[in-house]
């Protein structure tokens, strides 16, 4: 199956791996999610990933979510999409913070690339309309994350 998502990557700040490595990880994460969810036919869509630092993501988190602290990943959908909807022409943006992701990976004793892949999948699912605002929604989203990551030979991130 060809990837129905064109991924645009920008590295703004932080100690990220090179763009080729980030592109490969992002493509693998998105391809795994698309395969698991049966996405592949239809019009291609666009996705933007911004690799930044805690300073920038803290500002975004404060301005858009009212939380004045850094976070690991933020998703900004271009369109309102519900799970199972057809892909819109543009999905939106995923923003990732290097220091937070690095610290979490170290604290949880996970390979950095596994944690980053998990967070790309997490952000991608948000753009597809999945959320974790209720315990039922969280269980559904976490189950999908586990299944997608298992396809990629990445251990359960919640285990």
Q: In degrees rounded to 5, what are phi and psi of residue 148? A: -65, -45
Residue 157 placed within a domain: no
Pick the closest to residue 147 from 127, 122, 126 (CA basis): 122
pTM of the model: 0.95
Q: What is the CATH number of the domain that holds 116?
A: 3.40.390.30
| Domain span holding position 56 | 5-151
Domains identified in the chain, total number: 1
Query: Length of the chain, please?
Result: 159
How far is residue 80's CA from residue 67's CA, in Å, rounded to a whole number? 22
Residue 158 belongs to a domain? no
20 assigned to some structural domain = yes
Backbone dihedral angles phi then psi of residue 41, each to the nearest 5 degrees: -90, 160
- Specify if 83 maps to a domain: yes
Greatest alpha-carbon span in the chain: 41
Residue pLDDT tens, the chain, 159 long = 467 899 999 999 989 999 999 999 999 999 999 999 988 766 789 999 999 999 999 999 999 999 999 999 999 999 999 998 888 999 999 999 999 999 999 999 999 999 999 999 999 999 999 999 889 989 999 999 999 999 999 999 998
Assess if residue 18 is contained within a domain.
yes
Residue 159 lies in a domain: no
């Amino acid at each position: 199956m060809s990837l129905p998502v064109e991924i645009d990557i920008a590295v703004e700040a932080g100690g990220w791996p090179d763009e080729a490595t980030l592109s490969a990880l992002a493509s693998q994460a998105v391809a795994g999610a698309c395969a698991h969810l049966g996405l592949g036919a239809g019009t291609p869509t666009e996705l933007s990933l911004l690799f930044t630092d805690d300073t920038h993501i803290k500002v975004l988190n404060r301005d858009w979510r009212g939380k004045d602290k850094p976070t690991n990943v933020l998703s900004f959908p271009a369109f309102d999409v519900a799970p199972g909807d057809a892909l819109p022409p543009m999905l939106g943006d995923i923003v990732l913070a290097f220091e937070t992701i690095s610290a979490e990976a170290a604290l949880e004793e996970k390979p950095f690339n596994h944690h980053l892949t998990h967070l790309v999948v997490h952000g991608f699912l948000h753009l597809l309309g999945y959320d974790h605002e209720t315990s039922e929604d969280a269980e559904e989203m976490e189950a999908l994350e586990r299944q997608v990551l298992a396809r990629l030979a990445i251990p359960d991130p919640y285990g």
